Amino acid sequence: MQENRNKTGFIFDLDGVIVDTAKYHYLAWKNLADELGIKFNEDDNEKFKGVSRKRCLEILLEMGELSVSEQQFEAWLVEKNEDYLKYIEKMDQTEILPDVEKVLQYLKKRNIPMALGSASKNARLILEKVRLLSYFETIVDGNSVTQAKPDPEVFLMAAAHLNVEASNCIVFEDAVAGIAAANAAEMTSIGIGASSVLSEADHNYNDFTEIDLAFLDKLIINSSIA
Ligand code: BG6
Ligand code: MG
């Protein structure tokens, strides 16, 4: 990958950027919250975006003012994930968000290095389900990092794996914590979602249908059509 050194690299978050799995995370957390008698709605779920599974459960238990044993905590983490995986099992290519594949295809055609940078431990499984795994030179996910977003570790590791300078990386993110992580890594951040929420992003789009290829061209340096 020495040849990537002076190139622009693109790093994609997964949940909420490539696929709308936030709705499945919500349903699984809601099931657990109901079981524990904790009120939980879609607004509460915003706080869970980009945040590790463990941290999500800590937040949920704080909301319910519950303190539990380590063993119980681990059991609920497993329960939530097993529930979530029931939704993931049914996923296929139809769940790729609009125009995501168009952008991936364009960047691939231009020989641009691409990485996944996700907090999820299920990232590889989901990419397999929606058949997008082959676009990425590297997958950095919740199994690879020790620090969760907004720490920049996930994106810095992705840049290192691509052998691209951090300052030459562009990050697509839908979570406030993810935009903060990209900015802390001194990368260009592109918020996917409401600009009122992702106000710290360098650029903002509601979804990939709003991103034209000329904009991507402007972000790309030193690359050629493959
Ligand atoms: C992030 C999601 O991508 O992954 C969070 O935005 C989620 O909502 C986190 O909690 C961890 O996911 P998983 O699949 O490891 O439970
Ligand atoms: Mg996300």
Active site residue 151: no
pLDDT of residue 4: 77
pLDDT at position 225 is 42
Task: Give me the number of domains the chain comprises.
Answer: 2
pLDDT digits (tens, 9 = 90+) for 7-55: 899 999 999 999 999 999 999 999 999 999 999 999 999 889 999 999 9
- At 2, the pLDDT band (50, 70, 90 cuts) reads low
Q: Are 202 and 42 in contact (CB under 8 A)?
A: no
**Alpha-carbon span 183 to 36, nearest angstrom:** 37
Angle subtended at Cα 137 by Cα 131 and Cα 139, rounded to the nearest 5 degrees: 70
pTM: 0.93
Query: H helices of the chain, where?
Result: 22-36, 42-46, 53-63, 70-88, 100-109, 123-129, 153-162, 176-184, 213-219
Judge if 58 and 102 occupy the same domain. Answer: no
Active-site residue, 217 included: no
The boundaries of the domain holding residue 110 are 2-19+93-225
Which of the following is catalytic: 13, 34, 44, 92? 13
For residues 209-221, give the mean pLDDT. Answer: 92
What CATH code is carried by the domain that includes residue 68? 1.10.150.240
Q: Is ligand 1 within 6 A of the CB of residue 56?
A: yes
The reply to whether 14 and 27 lie within a common domain is: no
